[in-house]
Structure 1
Amino acid sequence: MPPEHVARGIKRSSALKIQRQLLLIRCLCRRPLTSEALIDEVNLLMLDAYPKAAREAFRHDLRALREIFGCVISYVAGIGYQLISVGDLALLDLSVDEIAALRFLDSIYNATSNNLPEYQHVRQLVARIVDLLPVDQRGALNEGEPTVRLAGPQTPYPYDVATLRLLRRGLTLRREVRFRYQPSLRPDEEAHRIAPINLFTRDSHLYLLAYCLDGPAGMEERVGGFVDYRVDYIVKGSVVVSPKVLPPTLPKRPIWTICYELAPEVARKGRVAHWFSDTQIEYRPDGSALVTATVHNLWQTRQILLRYLDSCMVLEPPELVALMREAAQKLSQKYAV
């Protein structure tokens, strides 16, 4: 065989080995695997990556990853091979700003924040990113300038992972969902059948926006309406994803155009928060502001605008004006004004 053919064969063989080794790391980044499972997964990702007599080639690849790249790969009986460190095989090299962003995410989802949605998954994601950094960057989460910290209420309870998983399944498959609900305003559990729309957070609480298809006796006004369900009020173990598929479209959510004035002490700098959709702000010469926007939930809109106290005057719609007046009267009675 001509020397140039031999050289090309050696290059192809070396490239194949390096590809296999990188795929091994990719598979081990996901989870621990046995040697048989690793060989099968690599062969799925790259056709005929391993020959029929794969064991020797597999052992060679592990040895190369350990000796050449400094990867730490341990074996646990009954579990398989587990990637502890990628060593010098750094697959990421983040900039200073990207490291700061990672530190920010890490500071939000810290050891005391296990009440946040996706807490375990975010912690795993941060750990995986750190594992893929060069050795000199892996301590970067504990160094550098102070990160910006989010202020807000703390919810001292974790979310039920199984409940969230089932709600997501209903959203993904577009299925009806049933569950029992324990609201704070009423003492008894309630049975609800809903069409899930989305999950969202507000003031550190996790909510499910849904269209109520059926509800408890005495709550008929909720049926055929849109409800923000607090996920932690859904009784654990009660969620059932129905096989019934939702119709292509649901009724449209009610929408209101709101209008309110903000006093100069709030609006004078021209930096008023946009709390609602389609917010338009007219800043006036006297320092006040006229704000218009659209909303779907008047009760929640009232809760937000009450933060301004007497620096806010609601003008429209009449239903929101009535809610604000009701809140003011109740506060007046409570404080004996």
Structure 2
Amino acid sequence: MTEQRRRGGDKRSSLLIHRRRLFLIRRLIRGSATAEELINEANTTFTDVPEGIYPADASAALRRDIAALRVEYGCAIERDDDGVYTLKSPGSLALIDLPDHEIEAVAFLLDVYRESDLPIAAPIGTFLARIGALMPEDRQNRLNSLTASPKVERPYAPIEGVTEMMRALKGVLRKREVEFDYRSPHTPDGAALHHRVAPLEFVYREGHTYLDAFCLASDVPELVGQFVFYRLNRIVASSLRRLPQALRRDYRRPTYALRYRLAPAVARQRDVAKWFPETEIDYAADGSATVTAVTNDLWRAHQILMRYREHCRVIEPAPLIEMMRASIERMAALYLTDAVMQIHEDIR
């Protein structure tokens, strides 16, 4: 009976040690840690071991675990002068072995986010690199040998201060009002004007990160009562203040029915892009197309449809038609002015 209990105890001890060592790898994959942190987190994680998964002499047991991981699995675990352990390679405990097409996807994402101005691009890059580090060496070599395809072309914009502004605003989204000074495009000199808003969410599009907000008060009267996209890098950081007022209601952008006609020059191949939610496309015999959809952002719809230039005619809604007309008139005036100046130059 004594021998049976001893053998059962040995089996349980071996199992606990095995679980402990796998935990160490998982924890070090997440990031570096001191011996004390590793021991405390292990004891906290294994709630089914009330006395703690590490024995009384935890430091010595941890050293044995680290040594065993190095010898048995070839794990490259380094300890610096401050006693911080770092996993450099999981060795034969490589936990991720992706098929070729998924490795190609990782290569593509690494390329996309390597020089991206998206505020969370750096954490995404770190995550993807961590995925790569958990692959067997031959799969890592394949990943490193790949050229991302297709190439993604995108605009780049200044991002200075964007991450800090996101951090400052994150805790108040859809919760409390804020106020700030904003370097406004509505003034000739781009002076910073005051705004009080209900902050709703962050939106990243085409190189810029915006605060989508409902304007409650502003030095630009026509913005009051409107949903506005504020570019984060234009908010004066020192002016930002969280206000005690909770949002009085759930602000939701109004939805507009959208309808526009595309000329045969861009629609006859029947491969028109679906830019908006609930898009339906009716192709006509002459090669043109009538597109119906919905949008909650007329400014964005205006930007997109202007890309079609003379090949697009907006049918509804009326506010968008007026935005299109105003832009076309201003552009015509701009180029007409250039033409007149050229004529004067030729006369001279």
Q: Same fold by TM (over 0.5)?
A: yes
Give the superposition deviation at 1:79: 6.0
1:1-337 map, 5 Å: 1=1, 3-47=3-47, 48-78=52-82, 80-110=84-114, 112-113=115-116, 115-144=117-146, 146-158=148-160, 160-171=162-173, 174-186=175-187, 187-215=190-218, 217=219, 219-247=220-248, 249-336=249-336
In structure 1, give the amino acid aligned to 2:214: Y
Partner secondary structure for residue 272 of structure 2: coil
Using the size of structure 1 for normalisation, the TM-score is 0.90
Which sits farther off after the overlay, 6-15 or 80-89?
6-15
Structure 1 residues 152 and 20, CA, compared in 2 at 3 Å: closer, same or farther?
Answer: same
Deviation at 1:278, TM superposition (A): 2.1
| Distance in 1 between residues matched to 2:89 and 2:145, nearest whole Å | 21
Structure 1 residues 242 and 22 mapped into 2: Cα distance closer, same or farther (>3 Å)?
A: farther
SS of aligned partner of 1:109: helix
Structure 1 stretch 252-261 or stretch 222-231: which is displaced more?
252-261
Conserved in 2, the CA contact under 8 Å of 1:166 and 1:240?
Answer: no
What letter corresponds to residue 177 of structure 2 in structure 1?
E
8 Å contact from structure 2 (residues 197, 216) kept in 1: yes
Higher-Rg member (1/2): 2
- Partners of 1:28 and 1:188 in 2: how far apart? 49
CA distance in 1, matches of 2:244, 2:74: 50
Segments of 5+ residues of structure 1 without an aligned counterpart are none
Alignment correspondent of 2:345: none
How big is each residue's C-alpha offset from its partner over 1:25-82, in whole Å with a ceiling of 9 and x where there is no partner?
Answer: 2222223222111100111111311112212211111111111111122222336212
| Alpha-carbon distance in 2 for matches of 1:49, 1:242 | 48
User: Unaligned regions of 5+ residues in structure 2, if any?
Assistant: 340-348
Give the deviation of 1:122 after TM superposition. Answer: 1.0
Contact persistence 1:86–1:132 (CA under 8 A): yes
Contact kept? 2:202, 2:209, Cα under 8 Å: yes
Please state how far the C-alpha of 1:3 moved relative to its aligned partner.
Answer: 4.9
Percent same amino acid among aligned pairs? 39
More helix by share: 2
**Aligned partner of 1:73: which letter?**
I
Corresponding residue pairs, total:
331
Report the alpha carbon displacement of residue 246 of structure 1 after superposing the two structures with TM: 2.6
TM-score, scaled relative to structure 2: 0.87
Distance across 1 between alignment mates of 2:206 and 2:19:
47
Residue deviations 1:299-324 (CA, integer Å, cap 9, x gap): 33222111111111112222222222
| RMSD, aligned CA | 2.1
